[in-house]
Amino acid sequence: MSDLPAVLSRAKSEGVLKMLTICTNFKKPNQTISLSERFEEIFFAAGVHPNQPTEDLKFKSEDLLSICAHKKMIAVGETGLDFHYSQDSKRDQIKSLIQHIEVAKEANLPIIIHARNADKEIAKILSEQYLKGCFKCVMHCFSSSSYLAREALDLGFYLSMSGIITFKNSQNLRDIFSKVPIERVLVETDSPYLAPTPHRGRSNEPALVSYIAKKGAEILNVDEDFFRAQTTKNFFSLFDKAN
């Protein structure tokens, strides 16, 4: 990204001082790791996204574990289930998700979960795996059902707000978040996707998280400065390796 210094400068001007970028296929981590090593404010997570090719969903746990040792890697994932775009790889997605959770437990890192059209399956796996040994987790870019929200919150997990909460047709999602304890809320951009209103349709970037924070404070009926401070605290509670 040729304008990365400008992107980071704009983020800083909006009070975004640390950022998490995600490597969606840890078998090709060089660019992500390089970013984290060049810029003090950037940390990374790594895993295999459920929409990756089936052959990449199959991996050796020790290969992912070896990357977990990097000082700037603060989470495992994103992983999860996507039965909207990737119907044919359901079985491999499930196996991969469980494997990611096992790695996260061993590395003592939180896990980042992608969920789409698979709420019941994800809730079942997360619950079963938690009973085998607790772990920390965030439901990334949460836009699922109230059922999955309750299941995740009951396990002590976090729900992450993205630009989707600012979209006109997302009232149901706003209603779900209005009932979430602020201590369990994170904010994210999912850059370069899901730019919030009024930037919808354009490339997203970390500075635009300010729009999400503004809407989040409105949804939870709290002062925006308090919302920013609490969600920052939540970030460091979940991703404690970034402290």
Instruction: Centre a 10 Å sphere on the Cβ of residue 74 and count the other Cβ atoms it contains.
Output: 24
Output the average pLDDT for the chain: 96
Total structural domains in the chain?
Answer: 1
pLDDT band at 3 (very low <50, low <70, confident <90, very high): confident
H runs (alpha helix) in 117-207: 119-132, 146-154, 171-177
Phi, psi (degrees; rounded to nearest 5) at 31 = -65, -45
Bridge partner residues of 111 (DSSP):
76, 137
Q: How far apart are the first and last CA of the chain?
A: 27
Query: Phi-psi category of 221—alpha, beta or left, where left has phi over 0 and alpha has psi -120 to 50?
Result: left
Instruction: Centre a 10 Å sphere on the Cβ of residue 99 and count the other Cβ atoms it contains.
Output: 19
Residue 197 has pLDDT above 60, yes or no: yes
Query: What does the pLDDT look like over 91-110, one tens digit per residue?
Result: 999 999 999 999 999 999 99
Contact 147, 114 (CB under 8 A): no
Cα separation, 195 vs 142, in Å, equals 15
CATH of the domain at 154: 3.20.20.140
Q: Is the peptide bond before 224 cis (omega within 30 degrees of 0)?
A: no
Domain that holds residue 10: 4-242
pLDDT given for residue 87 in this prediction: 82
- Of all residues in the chain, the percent with pLDDT exceeding 70 is 99
